[in-house]
Structure 1
Amino acid sequence: MKNSIKNLAAIAIVAFMTMSFTTVDNKKVVNTKNSKITWKGYKVTGSHQGTIGIKSGHLNFNGDKLTGGEFTIDMSSITNTDLSGEYKDKLEGHLKSDDFFGVKKFPTAHLMFTKVKSVGKNSYKITGNITIKGKTETIKFDLSVYGNKANVSLKIDRTKFDVRYGSTSFFDGLKDKAIYDEFDLIADLEF
């Protein structure tokens, strides 16, 4: 009987110590309906903007500290919000075509965090791998988390993903038809 009590006590102590020193990640799934990604692309004569949908995503936390994350973007959901009618439809179709994101062949884009560094109470420096059109590049950006919300602003160089249409990096003589290589993504996430 004494050995049974000693064994149970030993098991309880080992279990308690293991739990004390074990980090437990908590995966928080992104609410895709309440989250929003806005894009903005620039050209010599102005800019265009719109939205793109999140297919799935999550952020990993250890307690209240961000430790990782992963997102899949639905490229077929690209919409334009600054035009209407025929011009809106033409731009959306062109963005989905092989000139830009080749949505039929590459229906999703992917972002996976590879390093998360806390730089303040709710602020993080993120390093991640982003895949667009089957090409993966490393990207760095800042992310802020407040309660069940997070926001981030990214600049992406489209030419690294073979999106060359209208780029002065690849074509001469474009003049006022040139489209800048970098575009912005602003994500407001809820989980």
Structure 2
Amino acid sequence: MKNTLKTLALVAIAALTTFSFTGIDVEKKAVKISESKLVWKGYKVTGSHEGTIDIKSGTLSFDGDKLVGGEFVIDMNTINTTDLEGEYKTKLDGHLKADDFFGVANHPTASLVFKNVKASGKNAYDVTADLTIKDMTHPIEFVISIYGNKATASVKVDRTKYDIRYGSSSFFDGLKDKAIYDEFDLVVDLQF
């Protein structure tokens, strides 16, 4: 009996040692910033607005052909409204950059770091990630699809979690048709 226990203990130690020193061969693939696109869309009672924002840097991590991670930095100074022109565009772009919204003077970047990636289909992955906006970090979940050297995802973000309360009926009464919905969408098309 003692020999059996010793043998099992040695096998367990050998297995643990083998797994501890056998690393996952992860390849980080840089996102091609100029060929990738990040579109935002915000909603209000009377309609919506949309625009773009630039990815400053990004990588997707793969173990073979399986997605295992990702990290992105977003340049908040590049918030750009694409559905307006002239004075209205200038006003909205300025307001989005102001402290009422993203406060880009003090918070010039936002980040997204994948924490858990699980295959959910042939080319799809369920991702749990930490999103940091205005130095506040909260988990978000979304699905990302990978096709060759392209990836797409749609992410819903609750802005109030990042202390962006302007026009939110969750915090202010009597806004009526001036209310802005708490959630906005990010649609991501990546090339890597």
Give the alignment's TM-score, normalised by structure 1. 0.89
Q: Residue in 2 aligned with 1:95? A: 96
- Displaced runs of 4+ in structure 1, greater than 4 A? none
Q: Residue in 2 aligned with 1:39? A: 40
Deviations 1:133-191 (A, max 9, x none): 11000000000000000000000000000000000011001011100000000000000
Q: CA deviation at 1:51?
A: 0.2
For structure 2, list consecutive stretches of 5 or more residues without a partner in the other structure. 1-17
Give the alignment's TM-score, normalised by structure 2. 0.88
Q: Residue in 2 aligned with 1:127? A: 128
Deviations 1:97-124 (A, max 9, x none): 0000000000000000000000111100
Q: Following superposition of structure 1 onto structure 2, how do residues 57-68 of structure 1 map, counting pairs within 5 Å?
A: 57-68=58-69
Q: How many residues align?
A: 173
Deviations 1:75-130 (A, max 9, x none): 00000000000000000000000000000000000000000000111100000100
CA RMSD of aligned residues (A): 1.2
Q: Following superposition of structure 1 onto structure 2, how do residues 37-116 of structure 1 map, counting pairs within 5 Å?
A: 37-116=38-117
Q: CA deviation at 1:23?
A: 2.4
Structure 2 counterpart of 1:69, which letter?
G
Q: Percent identity?
A: 64
Q: Residue in 2 aligned with 1:117? A: 118
Counterpart Cα distance in 1 of 2:50 and 2:24: 41
